[in-house]
Structure 1
Amino acid sequence: MTNNVQRVFITGASSGLGAALARQYAEQGAILGLVARRGEVLHELADSLPGAASHRIYPLDVNDHAALVLAAADFIQYAQGIDIVIANAGISRGTLTEHAEDLQVFEQVFATNVMATVATFSPFITTMQVQAAAGDTNCRLVGIGSVAGIRGLPGAGAYSASKSAVISYCESLRVELKKSGVKVVTIAPGYIDTPMTQVNDYAMPFLMPVERFAEVAVATIASGCSYRVIPWQMGVVAKVLRTLPNWLYDLLFANAPRKSRKP
């Protein structure tokens, strides 16, 4: 492996944002470590990418933290280091707290969206710190938040809360690692055209093609920007939402469209 080849590890890589990011990085000549539960789909993706023979795939569930540790160790050894880790794996479910059975859904969403993000980053940090101490300025940990994490959305308590937690966690980690030279990048997607959003039966403002999202995200990661909402129009919306007083926010969003809850 040459020092100028990016080494990129992506979870949730079999479809949606993860697959688009994998394609974008592969086109740039990166060596990829790709994680997803669906092994057959992951194989098909890896085989379709430029430089297919150089990529490693890890069919595993990100909630299996021990398996993530083994995958991280294998990829670091194979690629002789690590440049970018993208904790992209995530799930979205409609939830209502009055339904007792939704407690399990909350647990699943938090496990996949929050705890798996921590478990994805953890086994790479020491290696990144060593590389940064040796002068490597390209180490990036990338957390995928969401505009839904800016304010709590009705019917999406689990998803909104989990993505808010990802945003806050990445901010804490960013400050913790600042002196080490390892950068933490938080990306908050708005509505991106993926299987996750294609099931929504309501209008989605500023819907962005997933390949365009990947282009912008990869450029953002390369710049080391600490936080970015994509697309930019949703960034403006997010800033406005942050400033709304509770009474006005409640009035505007009490009847907002909701993701369907599946009993």
Structure 2
Amino acid sequence: MTTTRRRWFDTVIGLVLTGIMLFPIYWMINVSLTKSGAMRQDPPSLFPFDPTFEGYEAVLSQQLPFLGTSFVIGIGTVVLTVVLSAPAAYALAKLRMPGGGALSFVLLVAQMIPGIIMAMGFYAIYLNLGILNSIPGLILADSTLAVPFGVLIFTAFMSGIPNELLNAAKIDGAGNWRTFRSIVLPVSRNSIVTVSLFAFLWSWSDFLFASTLDGGGSLQPITMGIYRYIGNNNQEWNAIMATAVVASIPAAVLLVVAQRYVAAGVTAGAVKD
């Protein structure tokens, strides 16, 4: 097989596989635009020739509070994750703290703990602290997933920062904290975007912590909104799919906007000079 034919073959295979993976998303959008009557009588067609936006109207009138709560939780998780993981990674990568290797191992182990075990532990603690069914409680719980990942990503990136750059700052009289704020953080933009994106997506898509720690709260995230909406409207498939589409838009937009930074941040530290 010649090189040109091989490229065409690889391209076709790639397009076919991409189409297969994206078809559920297309079908979700298609069903969200299909009238309820058409759904009950016949399977929806492959293309919504007579689209309706009644499902989206229902979603926007009923799901906006859940979306707002998820945004607050997501932003809070991002802030807490970056505030905790960036300084910790700087200490592991550049300050060479005693026990740093053991701490890195503990962070890896922490990511292997099943979420349901963590949720039950959080439930007992939150019950005693009185922070069940609260936004701060969910922010703290979601951050436990993102912080270990953030420390690992930041450590890999900061390990590649030349020591000469940090030494120059120290010669000018900057301490560790000033060096971290003025030198390390500005050059860590890619890793900050990467960690922030994953932290937001994890909190945005979280259902386990939300159902365990905020199942009865007045302010619930969109995952709980979708869960309750499906239970209350199990015949209104256009509204259910419209809810899924609306909930997917923020994640999709963030991935498209930040993909360049994410690629650079995830591969940081992979190659050493």
Larger radius of gyration: 2
> Is the helix fraction higher in 1 or 2?
2
One fold, TM greater than 0.5? no
- TM-score when scaled to structure 2? 0.21
> Is the strand fraction higher in 1 or 2?
1
Q: Larger relative contact order (C-alpha < 8 A, sep ≥ 6)?
A: 2
